[in-house]
Amino acid sequence: MARKDLLDIASLHREEIEFLLDQSTSFKKLFTHSVKKIPALEGKSVLMLFYEASTRTHSSFEVAAKRLSAEVTNFDVAHSSITKGESVRETIETLQAMRTDYIVVRHSHPGLPGMIARQTTASVINAGDGAHEHPTQALLNAFTIKEKFPDPKGKKVLIIGDILHSRVARSTSTLLQKLGVEVAYLGPGSLVPKYIPESIRRFTDYEAAMAWAPDVVYLLRVQMERQDVQYFPSVREYHRVYGITTARLAEIRQRGLYIMHPGPVNRGVELADAVMDYERSLITNQVENGISIRMAVLDWLTPGGEFPRQESYAARQRAGSALLTP
Ligand code: CP
C-alpha cells in the first residue's frame, strides 16, 4: 500500500486516504507527550524545496520531519544557483547526487513535482504546484472535518471564493467527495471555472448557497498574486458579496456552522476580524493538524530506487513497538 510519491489527491484511493487520516490520529496523540519525537525516520533526510512563499506548509513539514527524527535541509532558492540561471532539471540532478530521501516541493508550475519525482529516487511530496494540487492541505482539511464529524458521509461543505486559482479547492473537493461529502462552490462567475464536475453544486448567490444548508463554510484566500486581470470590482465589494461579514457571522453562529480557511487570511476580504474569534472557527485546528497529517505522509511514503524499502512506522507499532502509546 505504500507509495514512493504524493503528487495529487486524484490518484489516491479511498483506503489510502482513510489510512493516512487514521495514522494522523495516532501521531496527533504524541503532541501531548513530554517527548514528542519518535525515531520513525532516523537516518533519513528531507529536503525542503520551496520556490514560492509559505508559512504553514513549510513550517509544519519541517516540524513533522523533525518529530520523526529525520534530518531536514532547507534549500535556499533565493541564494542558490537558480538565481544564476540554473534550470530546475540541473537543480534536481544536483539534489539527486546528494541522495536525499524525501523532497518536499512547492512551485508555481503545475506538474513540476511530478517531473522531479520521475527524475529522482527520493520520495517527492507536492506542497502546492500552481493552481493544480495541494494534497497535504486537502488531507489536513479532511482530518479537521472528521474530528467534528467522525462519519462525514452526507455532510455538506460550501467552498467560497477564488476557485479558479485554487489548488486547495481542487484537492479538497476531490478528497471530500471520495469520503462521500457533498461539495458546493460559491464565487463570482469570473472566479469559478466554467467547467466543474457535475457532482459539485455551483452557486453565485450567498443566500442561495446558505439555503443549501452547509455544515462547513470553507473560505478560500483571494490570490491577488495570481490575478493578472481584475476579477471583481473591488475588495470592498467582494467582502460585501462573498465574505463572511460581521452580520453574516451572527447567522452562521445561530446555525452552528463551522468555518475553515487554509490561510493566510486576508482580513476584511474573505473574513471580518470577528470571525477569527468565532468559537466554531477551525482555522487554528487546521494549522495544528497539518503537523500530524504531514507526519503520516512522510512515514507512509517509501523512498525508491536503491534506498531500502521502509516499513511504515505505524505498521511496526502494530507489530509490537510501544513507542506510540502514551
Ligand atoms: N495553506 C497554505 O498552503 O499556507 P502557506 O502558503 O502558508 O503554506
Whether the CB of 54 sits within 6 Å of ligand 1: yes
Q: Tell me, using a 6 A CB cutoff, whether residue 56 lines ligand 1.
A: yes
* Ligand 1 center from residue 54 Cα (angstroms): 5
- Among 104, 159, 168, smallest CA distance to 132 is for 168
**What domains does the chain contain, in order, with CATH numbers?**
14-133+289-318 (3.40.50.1370), 135-285 (3.40.50.1370)
**C-alpha of residue 207 to centroid of ligand 1, in Å:** 29
Q: Give residue 167 CA to ligand 1 midpoint distance, Å.
A: 11
Q: Is the peptide bond prior to 303 cis by the omega test (within 30 degrees of 0)?
A: no
173 CA distance to ligand 1 centroid (A)? 17
Ligand 1: which of 48, 51, 52, 57 to mutate, most ligand atoms within 8 Å of CB? 57
CB of 66 within 6 A of ligand 1: the answer is: no
Question: What is the whole-number distance in angstroms between the Cα of residue 321 and the centre of ligand 1?
Answer: 34
Looking at the CA of residue 128, tell me the nearest atom of ligand 1: 3
Of all protein residues, the one whose alpha carbon is nearest to atom 5 of ligand 1 is: 54
Question: Which is the closest atom of ligand 1 to the Cα of 262?
Answer: 1
Nearest CA owner, ligand 1 atom 1: 262
Ligand 1 and 108: CB distance under 6 A:
no
Q: Which amino acid is at 25?
A: T
Q: What is the pLDDT of residues 273-325, one digit of tens each?
A: 999 999 999 999 999 999 999 999 999 999 874 433 345 555 555 554 444 43
3-state secondary structure the chain: CCCCCECCCCCCCHHHHHHHHHHHHHHHHHHHCCCCCCCCCCCCEEEEEECCCCCHHHHHHHHHHHHCCCEEEEECHHHCHHHHCCCHHHHHHHHHHCCCCEEEEEECCCCHHHHHHHHCCCEEEEEEECCCECHHHHHHHHHHHHHHCCCCCCCEEEEECCCCCCHHHHHHHHHHHHCCCEEEEECCHHHCCCCCCCCCEEECCHHHHHHCCCCEEEECCCCHHHCCCCCCCCHHHHHHHHCECHHHHHHHHHHCCEEECCCCCCECCCECHHHHHCCCECHHHHHHHHHHHHHHHHHHCCCCCCCCCCCCHHHHHHCCCCCCCC
Contacts made by residues 53-56, CB under 8 angstroms, sequence distance 24+ = 54/106, 54/127, 54/128, 55/263, 55/264, 56/262, 56/263, 56/264, 56/287, 56/290
* Relative orientation angle of helices 14-29 and 135-148, to the nearest 10 degrees: 70
Residue to mutate (ligand 1; options 63, 132, 137; most atoms within 8 A of CB)? 137
Cα–Cα distance, 156 to 139 (Å, whole number): 17
Residue 124 to residue 104: CA distance in whole angstroms: 6
> Of 264, 219, 224, whose CA–CA distance to 242 is shortest?
219
Rounded distance, CA 286 to CA 265, Å? 13
C-beta 52 within 6 A of ligand 1: no
Among residues 2, 24, 12, the alpha carbon closest in space to that of 291 is found at 24
Distance between CA 268 and CA 238 in Å, rounded? 10
**Does the Cβ of 55 fall within 6 Å of ligand 1?**
yes
In tens digits, what is the pLDDT along the chain, a chain of 326 residues?
569 999 999 999 999 999 999 999 999 999 998 888 999 999 999 999 999 999 999 999 999 999 999 999 998 787 777 777 778 778 888 878 888 999 999 999 999 999 999 989 999 999 999 999 999 999 999 999 999 999 999 999 999 999 999 999 999 999 999 999 999 999 999 899 989 999 999 999 999 999 999 999 999 998 776 656 688 878 888 999 999 999 999 999 999 999 999 999 999 999 999 999 999 999 999 999 999 999 999 999 998 744 333 455 555 555 544 444 33
